[in-house]
Amino acid sequence: MFSEFGNVSSRKVIMRRLTLPAVGLLGVAALALTGCQSPSAEAAPADPNAPITIATLPVGDDPTAENPVEVFAEITDVPDYLSVVEAIRADHVDIGIMSGFPSALAVNTGEVDALVAFQGDGKPVSTCVVLNDSPIQTVEDLEGTTVAFADQASSSGYFMPVYMLHEAGLEQGTDYEAIFAGGHEGSFAALEQGQVDAACTAVMLTELGAPMFPFADGEWRAVGESPAMDIQGAVLGRQSLDAETRKVIQDGIAEVFSPENAERLGAYGSFAAAEQTTDPESSSFESFAEIAAVAGVELKDLK
């Protein structure tokens, strides 16, 4: 519960499982905060026992970390990042925790609000991983190879490494073949099984080690580093949330994702250590447009 990370008005987290019938969603996590509400689209009066639903993707099981998603609720998988966005747009869930690019895509629709933005830390976001005995030494050496990416809406597993390759003069589909493994774990498995020459992923995952990153020291090498992102990620909310519920969510996020919890949160540690901006302007996400265009995605086209 939230109280494991801080005291958020002594509210309890009640766990339950929720299945969504729309857009192929397989499921979401659900949480309920005593004293909070999950309003209808008309922002009905607060029901103190109504649940706040949260959709996010699993980030793996790190036994050394206290995953905040597990703190919030029992988790079932959703297919991909954009399914989370669609669930929020359709009012099936209240909030979603997303990385920078899917957040920018969502906000650009004009149908999803950013409740909290986690500011960037100025550090490289992505790298491409090769096996230690690979002849690939530089980003330029990836010409003519097959490269695994996590998901077509992933910040660290697609947009940022594609931009890194672009800056090295390599274009997707022309200079290298791209495959999408459905997630970072799938990319690592494809590399381990020899199905691809490189797997592009988050620098943060390579630093966490097992079980988030399956290769031991001496088994792999990092090739290249992408630029940093202005915004690492965001908490997105449906636009029909009332002001009271938005404030409860923002306060709760600030308590859990706080600097003193960074080490405990494992894969979420970068969010915890980041400066938070509540109710960020949509213009805050404009820096993503150029990088998205390199990957063949126009933010304005997602409606």
Cα–Cα dist 178/174, whole Å: 10
Question: What pLDDT, on a 0 to 100 scale, did the predictor assign at position 113?
Answer: 95
Question: What pLDDT, on a 0 to 100 scale, did the predictor assign at position 185?
Answer: 94
126-223 has the same fold as 2-120+230-287: yes
- DSSP states along 161-208: HHHHHHHTT--BTTTBEEEE-SSHHHHHHHHHTTS-SEEEEEHHHHHH
pLDDT in tens, the chain (303 residues): 333 444 433 333 322 223 322 222 222 222 223 223 333 334 444 454 566 777 665 544 444 445 555 544 443 345 566 778 888 888 888 888 888 888 988 898 889 999 999 999 899 999 999 999 999 999 999 999 999 999 888 889 999 999 999 999 999 999 999 999 999 999 999 999 999 999 999 999 999 888 889 999 999 999 999 999 999 999 999 999 999 999 999 999 999 898 888 888 777 778 888 999 999 998 899 888 888 888 888 766 554
70: Cβ contacts below 8 Å, ≥ 6 apart:
none
Query: For residue 259, what are its two tokens?
Result: 């600097």
- Which residue's entry shows tokens 């500011």? 119
126-223 domain in CATH 3.20.20.70? no
Residue ranges per domain, the chain? Answer: 2-120+230-287, 126-223
Query: For residue 231, what are its two tokens?
Result: 């915004």
Of 202, 199, 203, nearest in space to 187 by CA? 199
Query: For residue 94, what are its two tokens?
Result: 């209240």
Question: What pLDDT, on a 0 to 100 scale, did the predictor assign at position 196?
Answer: 98
Provide the residue type at 207 as one letter.
E
- DSSP states along the chain: -GGGT--STTPPEEEEEE---STT---EEEEEETT-----TT-PSP-TTPPEEEE-------TTS--HHHHH------S-HHHHHHHHHTTS-SEEEEEHHHHHHHHHTTSEEEEEEEE--SS--EEEEEETT-S--SGGGGTT-EEEES-TT-IIIIIHHHHHHHHTT--BTTTBEEEE-SSHHHHHHHHHTTS-SEEEEEHHHHHH-TTTS-PPTTSEEEE--PPP-SEEEEEEEETT--HHHHHHHHHHHHHHS-GGGTGGGGGGHHHHHS-EEES--GGGGTTHHHHHHHTT--GGG--
Question: What pLDDT, on a 0 to 100 scale, did the predictor assign at position 17?
Answer: 28
CATH architecture of residue range(s) 2-120+230-287: 3-Layer(aba) Sandwich (3.40)
